[in-house]
Amino acid sequence: MTTIIGLCGSLRRGSFNLMLLHAAADAAPAGTSIEIESIREIPLYDGDFEAEHGSPPSVDRLKRRIAGADGVLIVTPEYNGSMPGVLKNAIDWLSRPPSDIGRLFRARPVALMGATPGRGATALSQAAWLPVLRSLGMRPWFEGSVLISEASTVFDRNGRVIDAAVQNRIRTFVEGFATFVEAQRGSRLVAAPNVTAGSPSNHDQPRPPFPNLSLSPLVSASSDPSPAKS
């Protein structure tokens, strides 16, 4: 059985994103289970609390669930053109201490979906997650997309998807991601050891946004006012 942990970035009872996550779970193909986990009990990250008590039980529980799964499906609202703070906070807790990043996140398959009653379809929120996934060394699946706009016309009162075309899109997305997760199962265990994200030795240090692109030549070129003399 392939297990995918589904996380919703909204705590709202009538959340469209939770409806979308349930629709995704219902569309999982045979042999794949999407298991929905709540972030409701996770407190605000506080470094002092962490130093005194370690991580809270709600965080430890979610860590165990993710560590025992094969992939993660993030279903995200968009707040002010970015990701919701509650879910970013949960991911931040999960990434502590940095020595846990490797086993929880590194090379772990992840996909993004999102729904909004507005017209932007969570495109900005989904894009805002990308640096976070990169920082954690996750393995995002980009071969499909589910970006739902005008969500109040997409779901009925019971949270079911009304439109057959949207339902098909969700099913196609979930099937594609499940196939990817299944294919990554073996390779995750032998993920390249030189992946910088997730390494406890460097995760608390400032890093350039893209490790393969060194910014220093640009800086030194512009900081040298004297042209080369012949």
Which residue from 29, 43, 118, 131 is in contact with ligand FNR, where contact means CB under 6 A? Answer: 118
Q: For residue 129, state whether it binds ligand FNR (rule: CB under 6 A).
A: no
CB 114 to ligand FNR: min, Å? 8
Give the residue from 191, 197, 71 showing the smallest Cα distance to 134: 197
Q: Which two tokens stand for residue 145?
A: 């997309």
CB 55 to ligand FNR: min, Å? 26
Question: What's the length of the chain?
Answer: 230
The answer to whether 116 and 84 have CB atoms below 8 angstroms apart is: no
Number of residues that bind ligand FNR (CB under 6 A): 14
The answer to whether 140 and 110 have CB atoms below 8 angstroms apart is: yes
Burial of 90-113, coded b for 16+ CB within 10 Å and e otherwise, reads bbebbbbeeebbbebbbbbbbbbb
For the chain, the first-to-last Cα distance in angstroms comes to: 69
Residue closer to ligand FNR, measured from CB, 68 or 120: 120
Kindly identify the residues of this chain, within the stretch 15-54, that bind ligand FNR according to CB under 6 A. Answer: 15-17
Question: In whole angstroms, what separates CA 156 from the centre of its chain?
Answer: 27
Kindly identify the residues of this chain, within the stretch 169-208, that bind ligand FNR according to CB under 6 A. Answer: none
User: 7 exposed, middle or buried (CB, 10 Å; 0-12, 13-18, 19+)?
Assistant: buried
Residue closer to ligand FNR, measured from CB, 8 or 66: 8
Which residue from 5, 6, 10, 178 is in contact with ligand FNR, where contact means CB under 6 A? Answer: 10
**Left, alpha or beta for 2 (phi > 0: left; psi -120 to 50: alpha)?**
beta
CB 5 to ligand FNR: min, Å? 18
CB 174 to ligand FNR: min, Å? 18
Which residue from 51, 52, 80, 192 is in contact with ligand FNR, where contact means CB under 6 A? Answer: 80
Which residue from 2, 21, 79, 174 is in contact with ligand FNR, where contact means CB under 6 A? Answer: 79
Give the footprint of ligand FNR on this chain (CB under 6 A). Answer: 10, 12, 15-17, 77-81, 116-118, 120
